[in-house]
Amino acid sequence: MDCQNKEKNMDFCNCSYPGCPRKGLCCECLRYHLSNDQMPACFFPPEAEKTYDRSLKHYLSIKGCG
């Protein structure tokens, strides 16, 4: 994933959170969420993503590990 190619990255971004300046900037998005013990939107299926709960606990629960 090319972190500078915002337009191309948006083809793959499933984040529905409005107004985030990191949208399409995958390196910044990943760094932001990992530094908060979270996962970015693209790790979550649509219904889980819409809750905006990006926590590791939520991620593990949808993977059947929590």
Q: Which residues bind ligand SF4 (CB under 6 A)?
A: 15, 17, 20, 22-23, 29, 32-33, 40-41
Query: Which residue, 22 or 58, is less far from ligand SF4 as judged by CB?
Result: 22
Minimum CB separation from ligand SF4 for residue 64, in Å?
22
**Per-position DSSP letters for the chain, written without gaps between them:** --TT-HHHHTTT-----TT-TTTT-HHHHHHHHHHTTB--GGGS-HHHHTTT--BHHHHHHHTT--
Q: Which is nearer to ligand SF4, 36 or 61 (CB)?
A: 36
Residue 9 near residue 2, CB atoms below 8 Å: yes
Identify which of residues 23 and 48 has a Cβ nearer to ligand SF4 in the complex. 23
Shortest reach from residue 41's CB to ligand SF4, in Å: 4
